[in-house]
Amino acid sequence: MRHSVLALCALAGLVVAGCSHRPASHPTDEPFRSVYHHSPAAHWMNDPNGMFYDETNGVWHLYYQHNPFGTTWGPMHWGHATSTDLLCWQEHPIVLYPDSIGTIFSGSIVIDRYNTAGFGENAVVAIYTQSEVCGQHQSIAYSTDGGYTFTKYAGNPVLKGDIADFRDPKVTWDGDHWLMTLACQQEIRFYGSKDLKNWEYLSSFGKDLGAHGGVWECPELIQLKVKNEKLKTEVDKYVLLVSINPGGPFGGSATQYFVGDWDGKTFTCEPGKYADEKSVPWLDYGKDNYSTFTFHNSPDGRFVALGWMSNWQYANQLPTVAFRSQNTVARDLFLFVDDEGEYRLGSVPSKETLALKGAETGYLPDCAVIELELNGKQDALITLANDKGEKVVMTLDVHRQTFSMDRTASGDCSFSHEFAANTTAPLYVKRDTYHVTLFVDHCSIEAFDSEGAWSMTNLVFPSEPYHHLDVQGGKATIFEIKH
């Protein structure tokens, strides 16, 4: 079995490599295969895992939760893809297979510059969850060929689970040691280590804070600088990303976040903040951006993130054939202060994503980047439609200070009664003119406030592409996709 899977991946890898993303003649070609989003060559994918940037050759590595035996969730492996521009992806053979400890769940990767683990200077070390009937444990594996093949550590697991739901380690370097952020049922635990092999419990966070409508998953602690205009200074804050499923604001999966401080042992937020799910902010205000992680070692000190563009409510039923799921476009995360004086996590399309923007065009192609300029004094209505009467209607409501996207008539919604939805984002910052950028691909629309105050990611499955764009209350400029 292992050989046939490898052969298939290798074959698919050849096809997906190169920049047209998918030659039209390929048998796995299908109408909903994305043109500029990463999707697996074949079979099932969920969370992005272990992402890192190799500055020695400019290669971005993306691993992902993968079932090579079918197009629904199953025994998890780590699939692997690389890119030099975050737009064109080349598939590689699977790097981690299940073993006697368990299947391979989500996790992260670090470059061990100082050989703390003893696997060699600059070894690429994966830290991941292994799941079995009796529990979940953290294991490690190392690569000395830059992330293409991995050897599992003989002493695995390095952190044995003591409760059910004990997973998704995100490891970062914290001054003079490694820090692991781990999801444990409905809270986050922090562990420290000098060598990636021995882990010491530091603290827990979140028991009574934020949303608790489901299990907490895929956490990450990020240190960001933010300009505080009132204090006229730049301050260091920490942001804890926590995916939750179910319990998202529009049903099913979503990623909440907490802004606070880290003292080397504990993460704390201002007293009274995030007291319940109504007061917790969300990384993205669509239904389809889950398990967001940033790339370890992103260049220029940036925090470049990818999310899984799906939702556990219907992920297994999406109407694709040879493969299932894709990732979001790359976004840079940053902190800003909103009109109420609150720290907020913003997302802007990364410069690599913006490089997609080709020539301006007078018609709406199947896939496009659309820049909207909306008058902040009146409501705006933006409609993407096709000749079948399928449409996505977006609304800027200046009174309520919201942007929403209604996909209830967007095309095929029949595969799940949870799919049809109208999602709404708070604008966070009042402007005279709102600039909104839309990224339209074969089965998705990602909307961004152009300065990053909010983002909204939604899947859509129209029976033919939307070739009509109507904007009331503003104007639009359409750009072809360049690749």
Q: Residue 448: exposed, middle, or buried by beta-carbon count in 10 A (0-12, 13-18, 19+)?
A: buried
- Cα 467 off chain centre by: 28
Scanning residues 214 to 233, which ones bind ligand FRU (CB under 6 A)?
217-218
Tokens representing 399?
């009174």
Q: What is the nearest approach in angstroms of ligand FRU to the Cβ of residue 153?
A: 19
Q: What is the nearest approach in angstroms of ligand FRU to the Cβ of residue 262?
A: 23
Position among 34, 106, 139, 395 found at the interface with ligand FRU (CB under 6 A): 106
- Which residues are bridge partners to 320 per DSSP? none
Tokens representing 160?
């044995």
Instruction: Kindly state whether residue 291 participates in binding ligand FRU, applying the rule CB under 6 A.
Output: yes
* 3-state SS class at 5: helix
The Cα–Cα gap between 78 and 50 comes to 9
| Catalytic residue flag (residue 47) | yes
Q: What is the nearest approach in angstroms of ligand FRU to the Cβ of residue 209?
A: 19
Q: What is the nearest approach in angstroms of ligand FRU to the Cβ of residue 184?
A: 11
Instruction: Kindly state whether residue 138 participates in binding ligand FRU, applying the rule CB under 6 A.
Output: no
Token look-up 């300065």 returns: 451
Q: What is the nearest approach in angstroms of ligand FRU to the Cβ of residue 39?
A: 16
Cα 161–Cα 263–Cα 339 angle in degrees, nearest 5: 105
Instruction: Kindly state whether residue 46 participates in binding ligand FRU, applying the rule CB under 6 A.
Output: yes
- Which residues are bridge partners to 266 per DSSP? none
**One-letter amino acid identity for 390?**
E
Q: What is the nearest approach in angstroms of ligand FRU to the Cβ of residue 291?
A: 5
Instruction: Kindly state whether residue 167 participates in binding ligand FRU, applying the rule CB under 6 A.
Output: yes
Instruction: Kindly state whether residue 65 participates in binding ligand FRU, applying the rule CB under 6 A.
Output: yes
Q: Determine which one of 29, 47, 112, 339 is catalytic.
A: 47
Q: Residue 121: exposed, middle, or buried by beta-carbon count in 10 A (0-12, 13-18, 19+)?
A: exposed
Instruction: Kindly state whether residue 390 participates in binding ligand FRU, applying the rule CB under 6 A.
Output: no
Instruction: Kindly state whether residue 320 participates in binding ligand FRU, applying the rule CB under 6 A.
Output: no
State the DSSP code for 296. Answer: B
Instruction: Kindly state whether residue 449 participates in binding ligand FRU, applying the rule CB under 6 A.
Output: no
* 3-state SS class at 408: coil
Instruction: Kindly state whether residue 76 participates in binding ligand FRU, applying the rule CB under 6 A.
Output: yes
Q: Please state whether the peptide bond connecting residue 246 to the residue before it is cis, i.e. omega within 30 degrees of 0.
A: yes
Instruction: Kindly state whether residue 292 participates in binding ligand FRU, applying the rule CB under 6 A.
Output: no
Q: Which is nearer to ligand FRU, 48 or 346 (CB)?
A: 48
Helices (H), 293-411: 351-354
Q: Which is nearer to ligand FRU, 128 or 285 (CB)?
A: 128
Q: How many residues bind ligand FRU (CB under 6 A)?
A: 12
Binding residues (CB under 6 A) for ligand FRU: these are 46-47, 65, 76, 105-106, 129, 167-168, 217-218, 291
Annotated catalytic residues are 47
